[in-house]
């Protein structure tokens, strides 16, 4: 299911109640030593990447980035 969000801008809702807003999911990574899958994401307008364990994500909300960009110019 997570693969369907790759390349899209989303708000990530974590299981602890936190929300990471407007990030683009760039890649899924498997860590063989920890036996865990991580999601690499890039915050909008930034170059640095975040690595978040897939198991800590409750759900992802897809954003329409063109809607956000047009509302900022009004």
| Tens-digit pLDDT profile for residues 21-39 | 999 999 999 988 888 999 9
Structure tokens at 6: 């790759």
Q: Cα 59 to the chain's mean position, in Å?
A: 10
Enter the pTM of the model. 0.77
Instruction: Name the domain count of the chain.
Output: 1
- What would you report as the CA-atom Rg of the chain, rounded to the nearest whole angstrom? 13
pLDDT for res 33: 84
Q: d(Cα 9, Cα 50) in Å, to the nearest integer?
A: 14
Give me the pLDDT at residue 13, please: 95
CB atoms within 10 A of CB 9: 21
Pairwise pLDDT comparison (44 vs 28), residue with the higher score: 28
Helix H or strand E segment including 72: helix 65-73
- State the pLDDT confidence band at 41, using cuts at 50, 70 and 90: very high
Structural domain range at position 15: 2-73
* pLDDT on residue 66: 67
Which CATH number do you get for residue 32? 2.30.30.100
């Amino acid at each position: 299911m997570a693969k369907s969000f790759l390349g899209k801008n989303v708000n990530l809702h974590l299981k602890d109640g936190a929300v990471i807003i407007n990030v683009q999911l760039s890649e899924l990574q498997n860590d063989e030593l920890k036996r865990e899958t991580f999601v690499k994401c890039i915050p909008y307008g930034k170059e640095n990447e975040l690595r978040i364990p897939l198991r800590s994500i409750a759900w992802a909300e897809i954003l329409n980035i063109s809607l956000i960009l047009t509302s900022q110019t009004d």
